[in-house]
Chain A
Amino acid sequence: MLRGPGTNCDAETVYALRELGAEPELVHVRRLLRGGCSLEEFDALVIPGGFSYGDRIRSGAVLAKMLSHSLKGELQRFVDERRPVLGICNGFQVLVETGVLPFGEVGEPCMALMKNASARFEARWVHLLRCSESELLGELPRVSEMPVANAEGRLVVPEEVLDELLQNSQVALRYCTPSGEPASGRYPLNPSGSVLDIAALTTPEGSVLGMMPHPERAFSRYLHPCWTSGRGSEHGRLLLQGFVRSAVA
């Protein structure tokens, strides 16, 4: 699990992965840059949520450029070998800024996660429609619930890139109504104004997943706002389980 200055969801994500039987190691980006360890040593990579480098310049941009500049070869190999990669919230922003998402090519970004259409930080539970068979999503049901918490979650994609994403079935999760109808951009069902209600994407091969919602915050039913009425779900656990399974496969 990669962290940098300003990462703040690492402890709970480590906790969740450990609960699922994984052995996560928290690695500071400076340790990687100094050669204190190498991505090569790990079966999977998680970039957790937070505000890396204080969201300066653009969310995720500074951490992303460190990776894509100084660790380009290492990161590209990791992705090419299809070792699972999960970017949550700020981690998704980092994967987009490294170019790893959407097409698995470290380099210039070809999409952007921009300020929410509401111009606000959006922290709320959302419904998500599963649109992909990627094993990284595990046994996540057709409609799931997880919270989002971001200021820059609006995916902006040039039309030709969007066409390719759809052709390759790279859209993993979409914001939707509780019954699974598309949010169709309606606020707050789609909290960011993201194009086509996209909440999560994979690479064409499905081994890299970037998502704005936080699975680690939907890990136990006691984290769900309706748990006292018995409606608590653990959809984040199901997704992370899928990720851990694909890391050991």
Chain B
Amino acid sequence: MRWEVRVAYRRGVQDPEGETARDALEMLGYGCVAEVRTAKLFIIEGECTREEVEEMCRRLLANPVSQEYEIRRVD
């Protein structure tokens, strides 16, 4: 079983790396870019239930104040 967990900054929380990427893309001529946000992807393999993966996010993978997460089963 394989799960993908995407952890990103919550909307409204400044994402300096995303801002730098947006500015650099704009400098390269991509005027179409309105916003860039960064996220981290964890790929978790093993016999885990969705509840367990949820718990992993709450306990370790995301800080509840500044980050939000999305869980997706990929197989």
A residues contacting B by CB (< 8 A) are 57-58, 61-62, 65, 69, 97, 108-112, 114-119, 154, 156-158, 193
A154 to B65: give the CA distance in the assembly, Å. Answer: 13
Q: Which residues in A have their C-beta under 8 angstroms from that of B17? A: 115, 119
Contact across chains for A58 and B65 when beta carbons are under 8 A apart: no
**Can you list 13 contacts pairing A with B, beta carbon distance less than 8 Å?**
A58-B63, A65-B59, A108-B58, A109-B64, A112-B63, A112-B65, A112-B67, A114-B9, A115-B16, A116-B16, A118-B16, A156-B13, A156-B66
Q: Which of A57, A69, A156 contacts B61 (CB 8 A)?
A: A57
| CB < 8 Å A-B pair total | 42
Q: Which residues in A have their C-beta under 8 angstroms from that of B9? A: 114
B49 within 8 A of A: no
Q: Which of A62, A69, A193 contacts B14 (CB 8 A)?
A: A193
Tell me, rounded to whole Å, the shortest Cβ–Cβ distance linking B28 to chain A: 18
Tell me, rounded to whole Å, the shortest Cβ–Cβ distance linking B9 to chain A: 8
Interface of A is mostly: loop
Q: Which residues in A have their C-beta under 8 angstroms from that of B61? A: 57
Q: Which residues in A have their C-beta under 8 angstroms from that of B67? A: 112
Contact across chains for B64 and A119 when beta carbons are under 8 A apart: no
Contact across chains for B65 and A158 when beta carbons are under 8 A apart: yes
Q: A119-B16, A119-B20, A193-B14 are in contact. Are A112 and B66 (CB under 8 A)?
A: yes
Q: Which residues in A have their C-beta under 8 angstroms from that of B16? A: 115-119
Q: Which residues in A have their C-beta under 8 angstroms from that of B13? A: 114, 156
Q: Which residues in B have their C-beta under 8 angstroms from that of A115? A: 16-17
A61 to B65: give the CA distance in the assembly, Å. Answer: 14
Q: Which residues in B have their C-beta under 8 angstroms from that of A111? A: 65
1/0 contact trace for B36-71 toward A, CB 8 Å?
000000000000000000000011110111110000
- List the 7 closest pairs (A to B, CB-CB), nearest first: A119-B16, A112-B66, A112-B65, A112-B63, A119-B20, A156-B66, A65-B60
Tell me, rounded to whole Å, the shortest Cβ–Cβ distance linking B16 to chain A: 4
